[in-house]
Amino acid sequence: MLEKIKESTEFLRSRGIIDPVAGIILGTGLGGLTAKIENAIEIDYRDIPHFPVATVEGHAGKLIYGDFGNRKIVAMKGRFHYYEGFIAEQVTLPVRVLKYLGIKSLFLSNAAGGVNPDFRIGDIMIITDHINLLPNPLIGHNDDRIGARFPDMSEAYDKILIDKAVEIAQKHNIRVLKGVYLSTTGPTFETPAEYKYFRTIGADSVGMSTTPEVITARHMKLPCFAVSVITDLGVEGKIEYTTHESVQIEAAKTESRMTTIMTDLIATV
């Protein structure tokens, strides 16, 4: 795997992606944040050696490098999911490439269903911990040159970045919540019984991504910060018919607030 990582990394460096300080992975309906990147270099995933190609609407499939929050960053406009048929190495390869490009922190977002009864559609939830119900991306041979066989996950999400994000939100009068994110394989949205179960075991939001990327990042000791944008509710009495299109619409409504938090937060790293 290391050889693939290095080939992808060298290709991107040859295209002008040099020493980014932060990486961003953007979820469904949230790719518009990349419009804030100045002096941008855009590269299609299909042109990057060993990268899979995103197949989901709302995931454009581009790597974008440039100036954001007074920092050089590289953003993934679109991510990969197990439900698309990709294996763990394909889902997480981009995270490893971002690390080898030189990023010091990884920032992630996702669209998620809220199972906490205090949540509202349009809320931004800062992820403080997660429950991973997807296949663990570290199963299989471990390359000690990349990371330890048994990485610690006691602080999957960086507490310093979380505290800074809360301060930024307060400064801009943006409502933010904190909670536990749970990931499933998808692609089906959850049944009422599943929502209830997920809440019972400690989840506040539910989605189909993010945890494999965070596990992979922590394997390489990359600090992570992640948010869920609550696009629908999995709370008894509030469950409504959900489609991918409705999720994209609600995520887009929240994008400007999330961009404000991310911009100010990345400026601190």
If you classify domain 2-266 with CATH, what class do you get?
Answer: alpha beta
Counting runs of H as helices and runs of E as strands, what totals does the chain give?
A: 6, 9
> pLDDT of 110-154, one tens digit each?
989 999 999 988 899 999 999 999 999 999 999 999 999 999 999
Q: Which two tokens stand for residue 24?
A: 């961003």
Angle formed at CA 36 by CA 30 and CA 39, multiple of 5 degrees: 130
224-233 and 124-132 as β-strands: parallel, antiparallel, unpaired?
Answer: antiparallel
pLDDT in the model for residue 85:
87
Count of alpha carbons within 13 Å of 30, Cβ hemisphere only?
Answer: 31
- Report pTM: 0.92
- For range 233-256, the mean pLDDT: 72
Q: What residue ranges do the domains of the chain occupy?
A: 2-266
* Helix or strand run (H / E) with residue 237: none
